[in-house]
Structure 1
Amino acid sequence: MKRRQLIGYAGAGLVTAVVTNLSSHVPVNAQSSGVSIQWLGHTCFLLTAGNIKTLINPFRTLGCTAKYRPPKVAADLVLISSQLLDEGAVDQLPGNPKLVYQAGVYDFRGLKFQGITTDHDRNGGRRFGKNVVWKLTKGGINMLHLGGSASPITLEQKILMGRPDVLFIPVGGSAKAYNAQEAKQAIEVLNPKLVIPTHYRTQAADANQCDITPVDDFLALMQGVNIRRSNNDSLVVNAKSLPENTEIQVLSYKF
């Protein structure tokens, strides 16, 4: 990636208290009527609340993402969990969004969010480096996107992550993200209200170049948890629609 394409503020991974202001625009109302969530494939989502569109983890179409459409959507803010091609391909994004890829505490037009460092593999980050988990509140909803987490959540990380209203979590395994059992364990630690699985095998995969498993492998482990399946790639979440106990929402990609 070209240096000018990224805004990276090294805010000391886990314990930073410095807020980096990314814009001088007038703040938006952070307690608006909820947030629209659109799944663009793999770990990529477009979150819309108020007048801010946030794109998380745009990807290059290859391997497990080969048959998805490139997520070339307009956004005000783009967050990436790593510079791997399945969650950090920003070179073809339209417009001139703010791009953030490093852990830290940020303020963008009144939207406060935080990047928290985890390992992107099960070897202390020695193979795939570090992953950035994104914690943000939009439309009064606390959201946590785990990106490509592959290591157990530490006590310090749990404190920083808090209890999310909506948790985006990888479930398909491989060397660089949670498998189904690891995802279940992370959900038990975080106790989210709504779980949206990510990073699993779909018909978008190149059969010869994809080593992740389908979402049903994860769902089969989640006995006793209510599972919602949608025919759409989008949903709107507000405080009134959140369940009291953990539920799983599976979105559908429109090929």
Structure 2
Amino acid sequence: MTGRDGGAPLAPLGPHDPVVILVRPQLAENIGAAARAMANGGLFHLRLVAPRDGWPQERAWRLGSGAHRILEEATVFNTVEEATQDLQRVFATCPRPRHIIKPVLTARAAAVELGTLAQRGLRSGILFGPERAGLDSEDMARADTLVRYPLNPAFMSLNLAQAVMVMAYEWWMAQENQPERDLQTHETRVATKGEVNNFIAHLVQDLEGTRFFRNVQKKPGMTRNLRHLFARGEITEQELRTLHGIVSALKGPGQQISCAQPGPGTPLDPGTPLDNES
């Protein structure tokens, strides 16, 4: 083989990570793209069952986009039975019903189950069928569980690499501890309640010098609405500094700048200019 660079330094995440088994793949390019998808999701072990054009094929490395080690470590088998004989659980992706009585999981549920098996020290594998027709009934008879992707029922067509990518993504997410929602705050942080209260007090105090609260009876409700506005999102400390500066600037030149005393939390200087903005 020629024309390859070193590729990414890929390695198995754990000793019992799932094995991806491509059954009778037809195009070397699809094998390479599938290896790339595996690398994205932290899967490493690749097995090929009777690849149509033999193995290895240089075209696979061209589409692997650096997932060279997965392709180099791939093993070839003649049958699904041979490719799964050392495994303890086998899953099979199945886009169409085959009149088979087996448990059926979504990709997400299958990924959780695969993680549980790995934690128990059991070896598992996932069968992916050939591009043209998918797995046949004999292939699926070797599997314990079917995996179906909940896609648009009017169009569920995926190419081989896409099918591997969905499973690899769900595998990665099942192992990942990253929160589903986060806020990128750059060099600042989310403001405390005390800092928010300090700003609202500053704002209300300065608004009292205008005609904003001309209806005294509505002032408590209007103040609550301001509080609700700033409670809906995670406003940052730097954003509060900016708002303090805006409120102070709106008083106009030559007028006294007021600042309500803060409640609990770190006080913020209302006169801070728009510094440290990125």
TM-score normalised by L of structure 1: 0.26
Q: By percentage of residues, which structure has more helix?
A: 2
Q: By percentage of residues, which structure has more strand?
A: 1
TM-score normalised by L of structure 2: 0.25
Larger radius of gyration: 2
